[in-house]
Amino acid sequence: MKNLGIDYENLDQKVYQVIKNMIEERKLLPGEKIPQEKLAKELGISRTPLISALKFLEHEKLVQAKPRRGYFVRLFTTDEMISIFEIRELLEGLSARRAALSIKKEDAELLQGIFKPFLNKDKITDYQAYSRADRKFHTIIAQIGSKEFLTAILQTLNIITLAYQNITSEGLIREPNDTIDDHLKITEAICSHDSEKAEMLMREHLQGSIKQMKTMLKKEEK
């Protein structure tokens, strides 16, 4: 890992972003203890900016402090995730609507290319690549259609999804073959500037995950 050095300004923020990226990239897994001494050594920093970053991540609900045990990547329950996805449904629906109104040619080409590697396949088996494409898809739409503060909120909610206990090891709630058509239809609506359809399709896409999690929750409660 690259040594951040101690001379950089805003060191707390830099350390915060490094750890947040590690959670997003699943280098730190849900429920896993964050190795503070190891991280501080690898980043070339003292424990002070590290603790500051961890406290901020705790505020964002991405990590959890356990008395006398340290900080852990937070592991979310199905019930918690249903609530999070209900928020995502509203915000990402709005983001898709706004993206359809403002998307430019270069952004449209980028969005249209994300899922091309998975077309014409009877069964998508590269879950890791598909998961990366999925995160890129939602991130780009947020960047196109959202103001800066909304983009930041959506990024955090998307990272929280990776800390859900019932996702695959690659970070997916549903099978790629169950969602590929959703992604393609949303892309088409946004690129054709159909804002109402883009919002509707995005909300339906997230409702599909909510429905699956509610089914999981019923099984857990039995």
Q: Considering the chain, tell me which residue range(s) the CATH 1.10.10.10 domain(s) occupy.
A: 11-73
Burial class (CB within 10 angstroms; exposed 0-12, middle 13-18, buried 19+) of 63? buried
**pLDDT for 89-109, tens place per residue?**
999 999 999 999 999 999 999
Fold adopted by 11-73: Arc Repressor Mutant, subunit A (1.10.10)
Residue ranges matching CATH 1.20.120.530 in the chain: 78-221
Q: How far is CA 64 from the centre of its chain?
A: 18
Model confidence pLDDT, tens digit, residues 59-92: 988 999 999 999 999 988 889 889 999 999 999 9
The C-alpha atoms of residue 31 and residue 26 are separated, in whole angstroms, by 11
The whole-number pLDDT of residue 168 equals: 64
Average pLDDT over residues 48-57: 93
Give the homologous superfamily in CATH for domain 78-221: GntR ligand-binding domain-like (1.20.120.530)
